[in-house]
Amino acid sequence: MVRTLRKKYLLTKRGLDLICSVLVIAGVLSWLLPMLALLIKLDSRGPVFFLQKRIGRGGRIFICYKLRTMVVNGEADEHPVLENDARITMVGRFLRISHLDEMPQFFNVLMGTMSLVGPRPYMLMDNQRFSDIVPGHSFRLLIKPGITGLSQVKGFHERVIDLQTIFSRYQWDAFYVRNASLRLDLRILRRTTHIFFTKKIGLWR
């Protein structure tokens, strides 16, 4: 019975991922990405997209799509972004504050390497570092990574990470893996939408 309910949930979750990703890509990214791409190209030299290896479900590596927010440099995969990082471009700073740099990840959702909701995927070096700090850290990899997740809506979404943040993120991610359900997913999506639009409105004040 439990296995049947779990399978039904995963099928429903995948269906929701497909519907929402197609709607966002067709209805929003079709016109938003060209505008952002132009701003990125005018602001600095380099590609529009930043492709980075991330850790997915079961520890499998996948390519995560983002908009480029930094000048092209050889340390993007080794050194996490710091507060007031000189590598961040002017347009990139706006993209990071508004989280618009994450929008291309809807293509990851469409392809099935990510979900709308799940633990955030870490880059390879961070995943190794966090695994050395938190025992059983790989438990969070039992489910697909998400564009948003429980640890993010609980406030642990900052770029700068200290030890307390690492442990708190894992605790919320582990709670999600143990209690994942359609109801919880919808609650996280609703909270994420509220945070996103509240923050965007705040940018223009």
pLDDT digits (tens, 9 = 90+) for 16-65: 999 999 999 999 999 999 999 999 999 999 999 999 999 999 999 999 99
Which of 45, 172, 44 shows the shortest CA–CA distance to 119? 172
Q: What is the pLDDT of residue 155?
A: 84
Q: And the tokens for 24?
A: 């966002």
Q: What is the pLDDT of residue 85?
A: 76
Higher pLDDT, 67 or 205: 67
Average pLDDT (120-131) is 92
Average pLDDT (124-150) is 93
% of the chain at pLDDT higher than 70: 88
Q: What is the pLDDT of residue 205?
A: 40
Q: What is the pLDDT of residue 87?
A: 87
Q: Provide the CA 48 distance to its chain's centre, in angstroms.
A: 18
Place 6 in a pLDDT band, splitting at 50, 70 and 90: confident
Three-state DSSP state, 64: strand
Q: Which residue in the block uniquely carries the two structure tokens 């990214």?
A: 29
Which of 83, 79, 29 shows the shortest CA–CA distance to 52? 79
The yes-or-no verdict on residue 203 having pLDDT over 50 is no
Kindly report the number of other CB atoms within 10 A of residue 152's CB atom: 23
Expressed as residue numbers, the domain containing 33 is 2-203
DSSP E strands, the chain: 49-55, 61-67, 115-117, 146-148
DSSP E strands, 31-135: 49-55, 61-67, 115-117
The yes-or-no verdict on residue 160 having pLDDT over 60 is no
Mean pLDDT computed over every residue of the chain: 89
Average pLDDT (178-204) is 82
The yes-or-no verdict on residue 75 having pLDDT over 80 is no
In the chain, how many domains are there? 1
